[in-house]
Amino acid sequence: MKIIDTYLKDLKIIEPLIHGDTRGWFSESYNDKEFKDMGLDFLFIQDNHSFSKEKGTLRGLHYQLEPKAQTKLIRCTQGKIFDVAVDIRKESETYGRWFGIELSSQNKKQLLIPKGFAHGFLTLTENVEVQYKVDELYSYDHERSIRWDDKELSIDWKITHPILSKKDSEAPFFKKSKDNHLKKILITGVNGQLGNDMFEKLSSEGYKIFGTTKSDMDISNIEQVEKTLNLFKPDYIIHCAAYTQVDKAENEQQQCYEVNVIGTSNLLKIAKNLNSEFIYISTDYVFDGSGIEEHCENKNTNPINYYGYTKKLGEEIVRESIGEHYIVRTSWLYGEKNNNFVKTMLNLADKNSSIKVVNDQVGTPTYTKDLAEFISDLILTKKYGTYHGVNNGFCSWAEFAKEIFSVLNIDVDVIPIKSSEYKTEARRPLNSRLGTSKMKNNVGYNLRDWKSALKEYLEKILM
């Protein structure tokens, strides 16, 4: 068995010795003693076997985070592949470089890929089988990926349109991977609509995530906050948790204040000690809703209900407490978790031929998946401050409802009414148009049109 060094540190080519005669051939594909004698001491605990039917199938680039990182011994037992390894060890002298080699059932070469490398391969023939050993079990929570066509890596795959899984086609670029895979993020309110999508998005980008609910950490209890944050020591805190029952807040002011104000203050006290960056999720309800123009990010706030008042106080505490912060105001959220306006409309449509919906409140329906993507990009910019994170365009609640039914071809009559005809405990702002110039100018980001986002959401929840 021959061991050949590559130009990437610790990455080895293995050439087994082939014994052949007129009957065929024999080879030892792995010999633990020989490996150890050559200083390659690994305890392989799992064998994997993959089959790819079509030529041009690309799998990767994949890796697992510590403590579940894997050493891999790759070989192609049927057909031919172009096998690629990328050094993603920040301390390595070959960090960010890639190596590629043709592995086939004919040449019987193998590639020994140590921990701290991303791996992928492209099938060069049809009906390809790849087998590999690993020294750590697969872990969904630690699995990460990098885009195959990342320009920063410039891997010469010699193909422009490979066959990809949905997961691989949506993998993050190396910049995010290299910035993220050692960073820790704590998300409060992870059981909410935005918190859930934030958890899924950031987990896929290489961060170590700790999501909390009230049962994990009551943010109004400073002792619980201190214990949890000091244990996890997050680099970022994304504060999605909030008391959001707008009407109940008018009569449950103490409960609302304890969560939205005291809870935020508690988190900030510990975040400051840990030098954690802070992302505070706020709302269009900090504005009074006057006029018809878009509210810009630096416009004076003037809430008209108690919920909005507590969110305004939360914003002020953030600005006063910590310099490295982001405040992201959003509006009319809907996501897969919990109830929302879209689900309410669909439930009502099952039981009614007509529905009354207010048409004098105007804002932007915002898909939590899109907002989560924006926030995940925003925290890498270090361009701190207040942003508005909403999809493009505006509509009334009645127009929102009509679009839901139009997309799904549901025959329901939406009857527009004024807010004065729909009595609620708390007043709602009539104008919730949030301008997004800071998002576009500072970050170069622009969320898609709300109708396009809604269509994707409906397809997803009803498929």
Tell me whether residue 236 is one of the annotated catalytic residues: no
Phi, psi of 407 (to 5 degrees): -60, -40
C-alpha angle 4-5-10 in degrees, rounded to nearest 5:
130
Kindly state whether residue 63 falls inside one of the protein's structural domains.
yes
State both tokens at 33.
Answer: 């003693």
**pLDDT at residue 205 is higher than 80:** no
pLDDT of 337 over the 90 cut: no
pLDDT range class, residue 1, cuts 50, 70, 90 = confident
Please tell me the distance from the alpha carbon of residue 51 to that of residue 339, in angstroms, as a whole number. Answer: 41
Identified catalytic residue from 30, 62, 95, 445: 62
Residue 322 shares a structural domain with residue 376: yes
The CA-atom distances, in angstroms, between 91 and each of 87, 95, 115, 147 are 10, 7, 13, 22
Helix/strand/coil for 3? strand
- Residues 394 and 456 placed together within one structural domain of the fold: yes
- The answer to whether residue 174 is domain-embedded is no
Average pLDDT over residues 173-202: 85
- What is the model's pLDDT at position 66? 79
- Count of domains forming the chain: 2
In this structure, the answer to whether residues 453 and 359 fall within a common structural domain is yes
Contact 64, 46 (CB under 8 A): no
Contacts of 37 (CB under 8 A, 6+ apart): none
Is the pLDDT score of 180 beyond 60? no
Give the SS3 label for residue 347: helix
- 406 & 303 share domain: yes
What rounded mean pLDDT belongs to the chain?
94
The single residue of 19, 30, 119, 132 carrying the catalytic annotation is: 132
Q: Is 325 a catalytic residue?
A: no
Contacts of 397 (CB under 8 A, 6+ apart): 341, 357, 358, 359, 361
Q: Do the Cβ atoms of 439 and 370 come closer than 8 Å?
A: no
Residue 175 lies in a domain: no
Condensed to tens digits (0 to 9), the pLDDT of residues 90-132 reads 778 999 999 999 999 999 999 999 999 999 999 999 999 999 9
In a domain, 178, yes or no: no
Q: Are residues 275 and 314 in the same domain?
A: yes
| Predicted confidence (pLDDT) per residue in 347-402, tens digit | 999 999 999 999 999 999 999 999 999 999 999 888 999 999 999 999 999 999 99
Q: Residue 63 is part of which domain span?
A: 2-169
